[in-house]
Chain A
Amino acid sequence: MISSFLIYKTILVVAVFAITLFVAAYSTYAERKVAAFLQDRVGPDRAGPFGMFQPLADGLKFMMKEEIIPDSANRFLFILGPSIAMLTALMAGVVIPWGNTLVINGESYTLQIAELNIGILYVFAVVSIGVYGIMIGGWASNNKFSLLGAIRASAQMISYEIAMGLSIIALVITTGTLSLREISLLQAGGVGSDWNFWNVLYQPVGFIIFLICAFAECNRTPFDLPECETELVGGYHTEYSSMKLALYLFAEYVNMFISSAVISILYFGGFNFPFMNDLGLDQNTITILGTVFFFAKITFFIFFFMWIRWTIPRFRYDQLMNLGWKALIPLAVINIFITGLVMILTSK
């Protein structure tokens, strides 16, 4: 049985890896398309029908580009930076429950690589290592723009991680578990037979804080100060070229994908969908439909990330810090207190 377990896990790992990279690649395409549509343009439409092969063309171009490592750069760290960024971005996908349980020939297969009872903590730990990738890369470039971008990135990510963690604590108080799978299961049924609402209804403030922090953690507009072109050329990846630049850009999109997945799980029911237990479907159908719904939610949030990018201009750095420290963190703390109070009062 151990071999079948290994094979199934291997298949799952490869599938998740492939899907993550696929989504990241097509996020670049979607980003350009969404940007174009929001600005009344057409976007890439030359490579294949509707420009569908644009990511492949971009990837090929990245590979063919000359690989430049500046003379004054620290070679080892220069290569380590993008590797860490990519590695940590991919590692977070391990604990994401991509779906419920499939039952094949009496054996149940969970669509999750590792069921960790502290899944959400794991995601936080791994994602916060990601900042080292940016920091090391920016420092190793030996370029003032890179360094400034890296400093901004690390300061920003560390500040917003606090608010993010605090907003999760309130959620953990209501759900009583740190496991991503259990948090998903607790929201089962949607508006169906069990009347479990999505967590966003119990934690609207927490959701907004988490969302804002997710934007900051992914270095997305309006918090894209680490790489803002108008001030810092390219920010921490100014000196990078070829595949190493691609890794940084890819890591950003993978992070976006993982963030969308985590938001969907924590606040929007994960692989659950409304009336899932009332339609009279068998277990496997519900699981597959649930996975489809989960990806639909993720797609929506990725779209939301892009949508916001083309709506809101960038923050000034002091505004960014003010928002993080003076608004979001106190708000998150108040949210924890109110949540705790309500929990105590309602649980007799």
Chain B
Amino acid sequence: MQALTNRSKVVVKKEMSFLERIYLPAILGGVVITIKHLFKKSATVRYPEKKREISQIWRGQHTLKRDEKGAERCTACGLCAVACPAEAITMTAAERVKGEENLYREEKYASTYEINMLRCIFCGLCEEACPKEAIFLTDRIVTTDYARGEFIYGKDKLVEPVDARVDVTPRQTAAVLEFKTQKQFSHNK
């Protein structure tokens, strides 16, 4: 019979020699291997003090952007929720009333907007789907917590504060900016 690959090996079950049977040489070999590891550099990064270098376009905790005047950009269209493969995003839409023009950019806005950070896989599809450039992933890391409920981030945690804007420019790579110039895609208008 012809072998499919040349990687197959003939296994021989042979009696162990005396030296092999007393195991001591083998143990000695193992001991030498472990002692060598004693002098190796550990791969650990001591996290809170030292942070591992992350990519420029790292996808971390989301932010909901405001426009230049400080009004929320999100119009609760729901495209991000539809795009989300992990079904982590939920929202409720509400209508802007008179006097709220400085708060919300358009007539419709999200009265609640929740992302379940335990479901989120940080794929960035929400950001890609967003026609209003409202949601962005940032280089921040979602912090740990004690209860599952704490990981459902509402608008209080997601919307960027007016006085402390979140910088999302690192995610705007040349390819992204190029894409945004193509006005045939309606959401780039």
Contacts and interface: CB of A to CB of B under 8 A. Distances in A.
Interface stretch (A40-48, A232-240, A272-280, A335-343): A40-48
Given A311-B27, A312-B27, A42 B34 contact: no
Interface stretch (B10-18, B41-49, B156-164): B41-49
B52 to A, nearest CB: 14
Contacts of B40: 40
A311 B44 contact: no
Contacts of B174: none
Nearest to B26: A312
Interface string B42-60: 1110100000000000000
B144 to A, nearest CB: 15
A38 B43 contact: no
Contacts of B170: none
Given A38-B37, A40-B37, A307 B31 contact: yes
Contacts of B38: 34, 37-38
B43 A311 contact: no
Interface in A17-66: 34, 36-42, 45
Interface string B5-42: 00000000000000000001001001101110110111
A39 B37 contact: yes
Contacts of A41: 42-44
Contacts of A308: 27, 31
Contacts of B43: 40-41
A328 to B, nearest CB: 11
Given A37-B37, A307-B35, A311-B33, 18 more contacts: A34-B38, A37-B38, A38-B34, A38-B35, A38-B38, A40-B37, A40-B40, A40-B41, A41-B42, A41-B43, A41-B44, A42-B42, A42-B46, A208-B24, A308-B27, A311-B30, A311-B34, A312-B30
Interface of A: 34, 36-42, 45, 208, 307-308, 310-312
5 contacts: A39-B37, A40-B37, A40-B43, A307-B31, A308-B27
6 closest A-B pairs by beta carbon, nearest first, are A42-B44, A311-B30, A311-B34, A40-B42, A38-B34, A37-B38
